[in-house]
Amino acid sequence: MDSRRVTSLFTLAFKLLVNDRAKFIALLVGLTFSVFLMVQMISMFSGILLRASATVLNTGASIWVMDPAVTTVANAIPMPDYVLDAARSIDGVKYAVPLFSGGGLVKLSDGTRQAVNVVGLDDTSLVGRLPLVSGRIQDLYAADAFVVVRDAEYDKLESPAMGAEFEMNDRRGVVVGLAVAPVSGLFGVPTLYTTYTRAIAYVPSARYTLSYVLIEPKDASRVPEIQAAIARLGYKALTAKEFIRQITLFYVFRTGFGTNILIMTAISFLVGLSISGQTFYTFILENLERFGALKAIGARGRDLVQMILLQAFLTSMTGYGLGVGLCAVLIALAKARLPDYASVITYTNLLLAFVLVLVIAAVSTYAGIRRVLQLEPFEIFRG
């Protein structure tokens, strides 16, 4: 088949597709709505997982040492101080520092209490600190000093300014800096940073106070050796990527998030499949006479299949683009109005939605292709 004939058939296929605007628009609406729901559901789950790992991402430590029972960064299990000393003595460790993570209650001006997450950094190095937008990091060594993270939860503390005083667990605190976090937390709780010593003094704790040990190896090749040494102590050492993966698996398989998102994505897929499949098959049936006429004048079955596939491809790609664009616009508007909104569109989300759209297009065209291939030209000339 020469290029001119191919162009003519494809032009005819396009005209057949858009000639009935009502059917064409119905196809686009079904696919657009399906893609929108799929991308929205997956993006919401991606945003939740990203925020669940916020402390790991914001801290930037290479290796996290923790109790073996820890599943997420939010449920730290205190360890004895000798774990820190043992980690510092391991060959291949550049440095090891303590990290405290716990919850406190801040008394607001109207007398109500606001739960906060308190992060205590190593007194000497302040490893894991966030970049400041106001104040100096050296002021964190002043009496009762805290740095407030200015994120989506900042307003819950009545937007404290530099020098503002507050009461936490019946002790005085002073805001000496405002920090910005690359990723906000998941549970809608404001975050305060201070020194490790001050954190364990302000937040009531059990016998042990060491939440995590942050390790920086001398080079990446020493990581397995360090992990093995920590394992011999009876504790667990994970790289940042491994810790994030563990948090992800926990929320996917051990909470209702993963199941609910999977169900909603499957429903979105079935909605798109049913609407587009039925509409496209009806479109094929209404154009059987035209396909039969093409067969009668010499068009081969392969030519007709290529025409149908072109129509399905154009429709599915247009619906995919409209669905992704609509989802992106609505997520941007939601984040502008709701700072806690957690959806985030990733390349993985787009690729997964693209594959599902191709599946919808393939299933939708299968029945139509079979009907056209079984069509005999003389059928259209009966009567």
Same domain, 149 and 229: yes
Same domain, 225 and 318: no
Domain for residue 156, yes or no?
Answer: yes
Domain for residue 57, yes or no?
Answer: no
Same domain, 166 and 312: no
Tens digit of pLDDT for each residue in 33-46? 888 888 888 888 88
The answer to whether residue 230 scores a pLDDT higher than 60 is yes
Domain for residue 241, yes or no?
Answer: no
Same domain, 134 and 229: yes
Q: Which domain holds residue 301?
A: 3-52+256-381
Sequence-separated (6 or more) residues with CB below 8 Å from residue 194: 118, 119, 120, 121, 140, 145, 146, 147, 202
Mean pLDDT (whole number) for 120-147: 93
- For the chain, the domain total comes to 2
Same domain, 105 and 217: yes
Same domain, 161 and 270: no
Would you say the pTM of this structure is higher than 0.85? Answer: no
Tens digit of pLDDT for each residue in 15-36? 877 777 877 887 788 888 888 8
User: Are 54 and 185 in contact, with CB atoms under 8 Å apart?
Assistant: yes
Which residue, 199, 234, 269, sits at the end of a domain? Answer: 234
Domain for residue 243, yes or no?
Answer: no
Mean pLDDT (whole number) for 317-336: 90
Same domain, 104 and 198: yes
DSSP 79: B
The answer to whether residue 295 scores a pLDDT higher than 80 is no
Assign 3 a pLDDT band (cuts: 50, 70, 90). low
Domain for residue 246, yes or no?
Answer: no
Same domain, 8 and 103: no
Which residue, 234, 266, 293, sits at the end of a domain? Answer: 234
Tell me the two tokens of residue 171: 């002790």
Q: Report d(CA 166, CA 153) in Å as an integer.
A: 16
Tens digit of pLDDT for each residue in 54-64? 889 999 899 99
The answer to whether residue 2 scores a pLDDT higher than 70 is no
Domain for residue 24, yes or no?
Answer: yes
Same domain, 230 and 84: yes
Same domain, 283 and 368: yes
